[in-house]
Amino acid sequence: MIWMYAATLFATFNVCMLLALTYIWVTNYRRFRTAITLGFLCFGIVLLVENLLAIYFFFGTDEFYTTVAAQQMVLVLRLLESIALICLSWVIVR
């Protein structure tokens, strides 16, 4: 179960990062009205919903992620997503 708590921690971190990025993209879209900014905004919203659903499924259902290997893989995927969001945030804020 520790793996799922760690995965939830990373999913929560991802939600925080995505909220910040989505705020930036909303602000930029209102200002510039470019297709790429709208694309980033849609990307952020979809990933935000995905992470919120992941947190719900981590705690809302017991039949998913029953094996330790599956729990560890979920943790690895959340960690990789966190790293990707950190890199994206670094490029966006820079």
Q: In this predicted model, what pLDDT tens digit does every residue of 13-49 receive, in sequence order?
A: 999 999 999 999 999 999 999 999 999 999 999 999 9
Q: Report pLDDT for 63.
A: 75
Q: What is the mean pLDDT of residues 56-80?
A: 89
For residue 61, which phi and psi values (nearest 5 degrees)? -130, 140
pLDDT at 20: 97
Rounded to an integer, the average pLDDT of 70-80 is: 96
pLDDT at 62 over 80: no
What the block records as the tokens of 7 is 């995965």
Is residue 8 scored above 70 in pLDDT? yes
Whether the CB-CB separation of 64 and 4 falls below 8 Å is answered with no
- The Cβ of residue 56 has, within 10 Å, a number of other Cβ atoms equal to 11
